[in-house]
């Protein structure tokens, strides 16, 4: 077996290992979490905050309205108890009118806020259901990913054993050269020659170069892409 053929067979196994490593990396990336679930939870938190703000607004409005009502009662009690002079009466009547107007306005605002609170609660319930659904989807998807990871991981030892076997047939010098080119050429250091064409860069090779590569007495490189040429 020529060195070029040994390196080509080693490359086939290395590419398989690369594929497994990429698949495992993608699975691990997906296992970090569900984007849909994250977005759903963020929206749920947003709606919870909105509801809390509306409930606080409702509470403040109710307190303000109660305070205005209490002040109306206090002033009217003074007026009915003959505790004021005739000169003070017009000013107090005006104050009562203003307070009642404020009370009415506050109570109307509270009613409006209460309606918005009910709408916010319904919106929150809808989003909570979405989160629950996404959690179920994620649990199922995570289960499938874990199973896929086990299957891919289970294949790696066998491929690695093949790698070690083919690697033992190549000298350290040839392997170092192969690895150097492989790093520069996206994982493909050895290019199979088919029909006189380099499969790495798709150029037609000189006949003499193909003949030298076929002879297998030395490592021959593509003059265009620099990959090692292997002629079956």
Digit-coded pLDDT (tens) for 157-173:
999 999 999 999 999 99
Rg of the chain's alpha carbons, rounded to an integer? 40
> Distance (Å, rounded) from C-alpha 60 to C-alpha 57?
5
Number of other residues whose CB lies within 10 A of the CB of residue 77: 10
pLDDT > 80? residue 84? no
> Distance (Å, rounded) from C-alpha 162 to C-alpha 156?
10
Digit-coded pLDDT (tens) for 108-125:
999 999 999 999 999 999
In terms of Cβ atoms closer than 10 Å to its own Cβ (0-12, 13-18, 19+), residue 6 is: buried
Q: Which helix (H) or strand (E) holds 219?
A: none
Against a cut of 0.85, is the pTM above it?
no
């Amino acid at each position: 077996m020529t060195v070029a053929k040994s390196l080509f067979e080693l490359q086939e196994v290395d590419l398989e290992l690369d594929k497994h490593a990429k698949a495992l990396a993608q699975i691990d990336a997906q296992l970090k979490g569900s984007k849909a679930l994250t977005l759903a939870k963020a929206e749920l938190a947003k709606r919870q905050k909105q509801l809390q703000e509306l409930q606080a607004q409702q509470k403040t409005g109710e307190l303000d309205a109660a305070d205005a009502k209490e002040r109306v009662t206090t002033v009217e009690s003074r007026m009915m108890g003959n505790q004021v002079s005739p000169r003070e009466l017009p000013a107090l009547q005006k104050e009562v009118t203003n307070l009642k107007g404020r009370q009415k306005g506050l109570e109307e605002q509270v009613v409006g806020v209460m309606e918005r609170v009910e709408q916010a609660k319904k919106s929150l319930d809808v989003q909570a259901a979405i989160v629950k659904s996404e959690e179920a989807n994620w649990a199922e998807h995570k289960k499938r990913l874990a199973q896929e990871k086990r299957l891919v991981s289970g294949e790696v030892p066998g491929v690695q054993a093949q790698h070690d076997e083919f690697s033992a047939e190549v000298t350290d010098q040839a392997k170092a050269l192969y690895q150097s080119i492989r790093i520069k050429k996206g994982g493909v250091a050895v290019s199979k020659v088919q029909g006189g064409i380099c499969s790495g860069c798709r150029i037609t090779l000189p006949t003499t170069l193909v003949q030298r590569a076929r002879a297998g007495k030395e490592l021959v490189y593509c003059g265009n892409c620099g990959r090692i040429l292997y002629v079956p």
